């Protein structure tokens, strides 16, 4: 009998707790979680030390899957990259096809579709060097990778826009552009 009374009390409290008025919220267990104050990403925030909502990552944080390039910008580091870095991808048809797509997207506007430095951007800006020039042909793969990553001269860095594997694939595609017999090769897309 005692269990029946307890059951009736619990059922009564449950029914009373289910209110039909939709304008009034029911009991909230953690109201600070439900009704939290949203901040705009770039708005001021009085709670943080620097007064900004968008916080910088903790020093040393590396995004998942990211392999940082431990070479700084500059000609000395570019030469060092030429000596130390090797292209980890083979020049397969798939690699060259991806290199061509990425080249046309990121490099083609300045360097042109054939790497001659005659892209659409050259109508308003200085003409970039031709990738088919002897000087460009003699650059080691690692140095070309470094130039794509950190930029050189008027060329801006593309390290934040182009993934490292795509930069290496661009290097392979540039090498096929520099090869005078590329039209005879079957592995070039």
Q: What is the CATH number of the domain that holds 146?
A: 1.10.760.10
Q: Find the mean pLDDT for residues 58-75.
A: 80
pLDDT at residue 183, rounded to an integer: 42
Q: Find the mean pLDDT for residues 120-139.
A: 91
Q: Is residue 187 part of a domain?
A: no
Q: Find the mean pLDDT for residues 101-120.
A: 94
Q: Is residue 142 part of a domain?
A: yes
> Helix (H, G, I), strand (E, B), or coil: what is residue 128?
coil
Q: What is the DSSP letter of 55?
A: P
**Tens digits of per-residue pLDDT, 12-61?**
877 776 666 767 766 666 666 667 667 888 888 888 888 888 888 888 88
For the chain, what is the domain count? Answer: 1
Q: Is the pLDDT of residue 100 over 70?
A: yes
pLDDT at residue 30, rounded to an integer: 67
pLDDT at residue 29, rounded to an integer: 67
Backbone angles phi, psi at 33, to 5 degrees: -80, -35
Spatial CA neighbour of 170 closest among 107, 121, 116, 112:
107
For the record, the structure tokens of 161 come out as: 């826009």
Q: Is residue 186 part of a domain?
A: no
**Tens digits of per-residue pLDDT, 112-128?**
999 999 999 888 888 89
Interacting residues of 26 by C-beta distance below 8 A, sequence separation 6+: 17, 18, 19
Distance in angstroms (rounded) separating the CA atoms of residues 76 and 143: 10
Q: Is residue 144 part of a domain?
A: yes
pTM above 0.85, yes or no: no
For the record, the structure tokens of 122 come out as: 């050259």
Q: Do 28 and 34 form a contact (C-beta atoms < 8 A)? A: yes
Band (102; pLDDT cuts 50, 70, 90): very high
Q: Is residue 17 part of a domain?
A: no
Q: Is residue 164 part of a domain?
A: yes
Q: What is the DSSP letter of 25?
A: -
C-alpha distances (whole Å) from 6 to each of 11, 18, 187 are 9, 19, 80
Q: Is residue 98 part of a domain?
A: yes
Mean pLDDT of all residues in the chain?
85
Interacting residues of 154 by C-beta distance below 8 A, sequence separation 6+: 125, 126, 128
- Three-point CA angle 82, 88, 91, nearest 5°: 100
Q: Which domain holds residue 156?
A: 75-181
Q: Is the pLDDT of residue 182 over 70?
A: no
**Spacing of C-alpha 139 from chain mean position:** 26
Q: Is the pLDDT of residue 187 over 90?
A: no
Distance in angstroms (rounded) separating the CA atoms of residues 130 and 145: 16
Q: Is residue 146 part of a domain?
A: yes
Q: Is the pLDDT of residue 181 over 80?
A: no
pLDDT at residue 132, rounded to an integer: 93
**Tens digits of per-residue pLDDT, 157-178?**
999 899 999 999 999 999 999 9
Bridge partners (DSSP) of residue 93 are none
């Amino acid at each position: 009998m005692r269990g029946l009374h307890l059951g009736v009390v619990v059922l009564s409290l449950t029914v009373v707790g289910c209110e039909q008025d939709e304008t009034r919220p029911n009991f909230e267990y953690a109201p600070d979680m439900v009704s939290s104050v949203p901040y705009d990403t770039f708005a001021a925030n009085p709670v943080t030390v620097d007064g900004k909502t968008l916080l910088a990552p903790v020093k040393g944080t590396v995004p998942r899957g990211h392999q940082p390039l431990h070479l700084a910008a500059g000609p000395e580091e570019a030469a060092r990259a030429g000596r130390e870095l090797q292209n980890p991808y083979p020049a397969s048809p798939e690699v060259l096809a991806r290199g061509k797509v990425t080249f046309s997207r990121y490099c083609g506007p300045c360097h042109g579709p054939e790497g001659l430095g005659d892209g659409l951007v050259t109508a308003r800006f200085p003409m970039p060097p031709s990738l088919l020039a002897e000087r460009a042909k003699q650059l080691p793969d690692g140095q070309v990778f470094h130039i794509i990553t950190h930029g050189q001269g008027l060329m801006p860095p593309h390290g934040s826009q182009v993934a490292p594997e795509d930069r290496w694939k661009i290097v392979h595609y540039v090498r096929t552009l520099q090869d005078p017999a590329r039209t005879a090769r079957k592995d070039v897309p």
